[in-house]
Chains A and B, each alone.
Chain A
Amino acid sequence: MRRFKSGLTTTITWILVLLFFFPIAWMFMTAFKSEADAASIPPKFFFTPTLDQFQIVFDRGMGSFLLNSFTSSIASTLIVLLLAIPAAYALSIRPVKKVQDSLFFFISTRFMPVAASILPIFFILKFMGLLDNITALTFLYAAMNLPIAVWMMRSFFNEVPMEIIEAAQIDGANFRTELVKVVLPIVVPGIAAVALICFIFSWNEYFMALLLTTDTARTTPPFLASFVDGRGQFLAVLSAASTIAVLPVIIAGWAAQKQLVRGLAMGAVK
């Protein structure tokens, strides 16, 4: 009876999981269809797969957009970690009353809808001659992700048992040793989680990339949207482009998910 019950739960779980995943599976499938098959009514489950759509996507030069996406996402994530780790450390392990107030400031910088601040940013960048510049975009992504990173990192540091730090301090470890040798190793899963989330947000960011870049620095999301064809069918080619565009994030997410869960498990506690 018990085994039957467990088997039933497993079956139900799998049915729900597959239902949930279905839209994405469908997207992967559509990527291998011809446009006519993709638009077919009723939908086609069986079809002759084709790589034509991928051919079109790469012929349009997706490579350089992917490269820009990698550059801005990775570099901005590194900047965020570099800034957020010490800041969160200060907020958590060496808290000073006045410094605490900055925590709320960090999170509040995420409240401005991008649509409102994008034109001011456009004009500032234009004034500085930094439009269509990957470095500018990278810094903006870093600023966009910093608040969440600080918030999450602080929670991770809160999880470090105080005894360990005190022990290190009694041993006469200076601050750098304390941070690098004692605290950081404990929060590595947390750092991985933060890095992944920053990477996802930068990778998927659309609005700034659209308005602030044209060609040299343009990233994948606006390029993806350019497959939305006002005057014809585009579902198959868009699915192919989306499939390629999500693969890096999916691979990163899948590879890091153990870290992610562990990281979040620590992060959420405090």
Chain B
Amino acid sequence: MLLTKKRALALSAILATSALALTGCSGAGGAKQDVTLTLATVSNPQMKDMEELKGEFESANPSIKVNFVQMEEGDLRAAVTADVASGAGQYDIVTVGAYEVPQWGANGWLQDLTPALKADATYDVEDILPPVRDALSVDGKQYAVPFYGESSILMYNKEMLAAAGVTISNNPTWQEVATAAQAVKDQGIADSGICLRGKPGWGDLFAPLTTVVQTFGGSWYDMDWNAQVNSPEFTEAVTFYKDLLANAGQADPVSYSFTECLNLLQEGKTAMWYDASVAASILEDAKTSKVAGKMGYAHAPTYKTAESGWLWSWNLAVPESSKNKEAADKFVLWATSKDYQQLVGKTLGWTRVPPGARISTYEIPEYKEAAAAFAPITLEVMSSVNPSQPGVNPQPWVGIQYVTIPEFQDVGNQVAQLVADAIAGRISVADALNKGQEIAQKAGDAHKK
């Protein structure tokens, strides 16, 4: 077992080749005449459809190639923020949530798309749902275009509620929902009456919970950026949410967010679910869902406000640091155009048309037919929510289930961790919210005029 000279030679040969291979790899990629766009996006089904259809765009624009980089939501935020904030310019097109667009736009990180949108006569920018569009604009400049949008609705299993002898109106109150959930649970019709998100995170637990807080009359901040987290209304809302989960909710709530609840409902293990409206199209897919055709849909439950749905959109934007802005603009407009929606409908099926971005989507006859169960209510809710004042009192920012300040995702996350502790019964709701108040106030102080 001696290492002979031959072996040593072979070893150094391997080393040399691998070194060569390495330099070769790093050298490749340049020296192309055509434009290659790198698009960062979140790994949701609608985006996977977009990747599937990008060939149509590429054959219409032979000099442009589009590379998709899909990431899980948290990863996308981390990677894209680092890139865009530093001006590294690795991505030509980025997928940005409604929460970030106005902040990034104001920071000068995103290209103002208004001229490009106006220049394209067929694009019809007025067709974009007004609340969605407002959320993407700062001082009349639009920094992103919505790829799809959503609100939150109450989804319920009609058979189960009928078996429990309860009904849900089209505009239910939270009390009504709690009673129905309790009835289902008490009569043993399902393991739980309702599924609600409990996973700590501003975009997980606090997406639905903030809308509950608002309809209970609470808010994160008042007009002067004083934190309101331990106010009686906020406390009442969190206590209600916690009790509802404890009395009629799913087991192990802290594990649950969108996908987990989706499974539970699809498998017929719970009767109701309050979450994003896009869930409806998955629930109605007879291929994967056991409850297709059995579902009813209602407006987000309310208490003191008329509506309580949230508003979210995933949008496409072009960073200022992109070196291929012109080509990038072209793709962004293509992917959010009316033609793209027709393309999705015709090639992949009409239920897969990205919802909640354009009014005209809801006028396509094929879509209206295919999505009859959930399309009307989605449009209805999305046009009736008010991002400028979703709660009882006025607020100094535009946005429903989030606060448009950079600190919010941190504040939301930390308070969500505390509330999760309260849901698990490790601390009281009051203690959790008192601590949360301190965290929120620190962030609010930075915005006091």
Interface of A toward B, CB cutoff 8 Å: 35-36, 39-41, 71, 74-75, 78, 82, 119, 122-123, 126, 131-136, 138, 180-181, 184-185, 188, 210-211, 214-218, 222, 225-234
Which of A41, A134, A210, A216 contacts B22 (CB under 8 A)? A134
Contact of B267 among A39, A135, A230 (CB under 8 A): A39
Asked whether B44 lies within 8 Å of A230 as measured between CB atoms, the reply is: yes
Using known A-B contacts A126-B86, A230-B44, A233-B263, determine if residue A222 contacts B282 with beta carbons closer than 8 Å: no
The residue among A35, A134, A211, A232 with the most chain B CB atoms within 10 A of its own CB is A232
For B40, what are the chain A residues with a Cβ–Cβ distance below 8 Å?
Answer: 214
Contact assessment for B258 and A231 in the assembled complex, using a CB-CB cutoff below 8 Å: yes
- A74 CA to B14 CA, complexed, in Å: 11
Binds A, one of B69-77, B231-239, B374-382, B400-408: B69-77
Residues in B whose Cβ lies below 8 Å from that of A232: 44-45, 259, 262, 282
Given the known interface contacts A222-B71, A226-B70, A229-B43, the answer about A234 and B259 at a Cβ–Cβ threshold of 8 Å is yes
Is B22's CB under 8 angstroms from A180's CB? Answer: no
Against A, the Cβ 8 Å flags (1 = close, 0 = not) of B63-104 are 000010111110100110011001010110000000000000
A20 to chain B minimum Cβ distance, whole angstroms, is 23
Question: For B71, what are the chain A residues with a Cβ–Cβ distance below 8 Å?
Answer: 210, 222, 225-226
**Does B25 sit at the interface, judged by CB under 8 A?**
yes
Residue of B nearest to A216 (CB): B29
For B3, the chain A residues whose CB sits under 8 A away are 180-181, 184-185
Q: Which residues of B contact A233 (CB under 8 A)?
A: 259, 262-263, 288
B45 touches A185 (CB 8 A): no
A73 and B364 alpha carbons, distance in the complex (Å): 51
Chain A nearest CB from B83 CB (Å) reads 8
On B, residues with C-beta under 8 Å from A are 1-3, 8, 14-15, 18-19, 21-23, 25-26, 28-29, 38, 40, 42-46, 67, 69-73, 75, 78-79, 82-83, 86, 88, 90-91, 258-259, 262-264, 266-267, 269, 276, 278-279, 282, 287-288
Contact A122 B86 (CB under 8 A): yes
A39 touching B25, Cβ below 8 Å: no
Cβ contacts A to B, 7 pairs, < 8 Å: A132-B90, A180-B3, A184-B3, A214-B83, A216-B29, A229-B44, A231-B259
Cα–Cα, bound, A181→B43 (Å): 53
Please give the distance in Å from A241's CB to the nearest CB on chain B. 12
> Across the interface, do A214 and B44 meet the contact criterion of CB distance under 8 Å?
no
Are B86 and A71 in contact (CB-based, < 8 A)?
no
* A181-B2, A231-B45 known; A134 vs B26 contact (CB < 8 Å): yes
Q: How far is the CB of A169 from chain B (nearest CB, A)?
A: 17
- Which are the 5 A-B pairs with shortest beta-carbon distances? A226-B70, A231-B44, A41-B267, A228-B72, A135-B26
Residues of chain B within 8 A (CB-CB) of A222 are 71, 75
CB nearest neighbor in B for A207: B78
Q: In the complex, A227 Cα to B45 Cα: how many Å?
A: 10
The minimal Cβ–Cβ distance linking B289 to chain A, given in whole angstroms, is 8
CA distance A136 to B44 in the complex (A): 30
- A75 pairs with B69, CB closer than 8 A: no
Report chain A residues within 8 Å CB of B276. 231
Q: Which residues of B contact A215 (CB under 8 A)?
A: 38, 67, 69
Alpha-carbon separation in the docked complex, A229 to B21 (Å): 34
Residue in B25, B83, B269 whose Cβ sees the most chain A Cβ within 10 Å: B25
Question: Could you tell me the distance between the alpha carbons of A134 and B19 in the complex, rounded to whole angstroms?
Answer: 12
Inter-chain contact B14/A78, CB cutoff 8 Å = yes
Interface centre among A211, A217, A229 (most CB of B within 10 A): A229
- B266: A residues at CB distance < 8 A: 39
Which partner residue on chain A sits nearest B1 by CB separation? A185
Output the least CB separation between A150 and chain B (Å): 19
Taking a contact as CB atoms under 8 Å apart, the answer to whether A211 and B82 are in contact is: yes
Q: Using Cβ atoms and an 8 Å threshold, which residues of chain A touch B42?
A: 230
Most buried by B among A133, A134, A218, A231: A231
Cross-interface CB contact of A211 among B79, B262, B288, cutoff 8 Å: B79
Chain A at the B interface: mostly helix, strand, loop or mixed? helix
In angstroms, how far is the closest chain A Cβ from the Cβ of B58?
A: 15
Pick from A35, A74, A133, A210 the residue with the most CB of B within 10 Å: A210
Q: Which chain B residues lie closer than 8 Å to A123 at the CB level? A: 86
Measured between alpha carbons, how far is A138 from B42 in the docked complex, in Å? 27
Closest CB of chain B to A42's CB: distance in Å? 9
From known contacts A39-B263, A78-B18, infer whether A71 and B72 are also in contact, taking CB-CB under 8 Å. no
Chain B hits for A217, CB < 8 A: 25
Question: B25 to A78, Cβ gap below 8 A?
Answer: no
Give Cα distance in the complex from A75 to B82, angstroms: 27
Query: Would you give the shortest CB distance from B407 to chain A, in whole angstroms?
Result: 18
The interface residues of chain B lying within 8 Å CB-to-CB of A82 are: 15
Q: Output the least CB separation between A132 and chain B (Å).
A: 6
Cα distance A234–B44 when bound, in Å?
10
Compute how far the CA of A226 lies from the CA of B71 in the bound complex, rounded to whole angstroms: 4
Within 8 Å by CB of A230, from B67, B72, B79, B82, lies B72
Given contacts A75-B22, A78-B15, A214-B69, contact A131 B90 (CB under 8 A): yes
A185 to chain B: closest residue by CB: B1
> Judging by beta carbons under 8 Å apart, are B43 and A228 in contact?
yes
In whole angstroms, what is the CA distance A233 to B287 when docked? 13
A36 to B286: give the CA distance in the assembly, Å: 11
Q: Other CB < 8 Å A-B pairs besides A210-B71, A233-B288, 10 of them?
A: A41-B269, A75-B22, A133-B26, A180-B8, A185-B3, A215-B69, A230-B73, A231-B258, A231-B276, A232-B45
Contact between A126 and B88 (Cβ–Cβ < 8 Å)? Answer: yes
Which of A78, A214, A226 contacts B43, CB < 8 Å? A226
Indicate if the CB atoms of B258 and A230 lie closer than 8 Å. Answer: yes
Shortest beta-carbon distance, A185 to chain B, in Å? 5
- Distance in angstroms from A199 CB to nearest chain B CB is 13
Judge whether A226 and B259 touch: CB under 8 Å.
no
Name the A residues within 8 Å of B278 (CB-CB).
231
The CA of A75 and the CA of B15, in the complex, are separated in Å by: 8
A229 contacts B26, CB within 8 Å? no
CA A229 to CA B49, docked complex, whole Å:
13
CB nearest to B279 among chain A residues:
A231
With contact pairs A35-B288, A216-B29, A233-B259 given, residues A131 and B45 touching in the complex (Cβ less than 8 Å)? no
Q: Report A110 CB to chain B, min CB distance, Å.
A: 22
Q: Which residues of B contact A231 (CB under 8 A)?
A: 44-46, 258-259, 276, 278-279, 282
Chain B positions within 8 Å of A35 at CB level:
288
When distances are taken between beta carbons in the complex, the residues of chain A under 8 Å from B44 are 229-232
CB distance B25 to A134 under 8 Å?
yes
